[in-house]
Amino acid sequence: MDLTQLLSRVDHTQLNVTAVTQDYIQLCDEAITHNVASVCVPPSRVKFCDRHLKGRIKICTVIGFPNGYATPHIKAEEAKDAIQNGAEEIDMVIDISRAKDHDYTAILSDIRTVRNATTGIAILKVIIETALLTQEEKIALCQVVSESGADYIKTSTGFASGGATFEDVALLRKYVTPEVKVKAAGGISTLDDAFQFIKLGADRLGTSRIIKLVQGIASAEY
Which residues form the catalytic set? Answer: 91, 154, 183
Q: Give the separation between CA 206 and CA 40, rounded to whole angstroms.
A: 8
Whether 83 contacts 122, CB under 8 Å: yes
